[in-house]
Amino acid sequence: MSDDVKDAGLVAMISSILGGNKRADSSAPPPLTEVPPTAPTNGFEPIEPSTPDPAPAEPEVAPDAVPAAAKPVERPAKITTTPDGKRLLPAEAIADLVLGELRKLENFPATGASVTIYGYKHWNAMITFAPFSTTFQNATRFRQAVPDLVFKLRRFVELEI
pLDDT value of position 8: 67
pTM of the model: 0.50
Whole-number Å distance between alpha carbons of 133 and 106: 14
pLDDT band of residue 149 (cuts 50, 70, 90) is very high
The answer on pLDDT for 114 being more than 50 is yes
Parallel/antiparallel/unpaired status of strands 87-89 and 157-159: parallel
**Calpha distance 8→30 (Å, rounded):** 9
Per-residue exposure over 22-48, b if at least 16 CB sit within 10 Å of its own CB, e if not: eebeeeebeeeeeeeeeeeeeeeeeee
- Helices and strands in the chain, H and E counts: 3, 4
pLDDT surpasses 60 at 100: yes
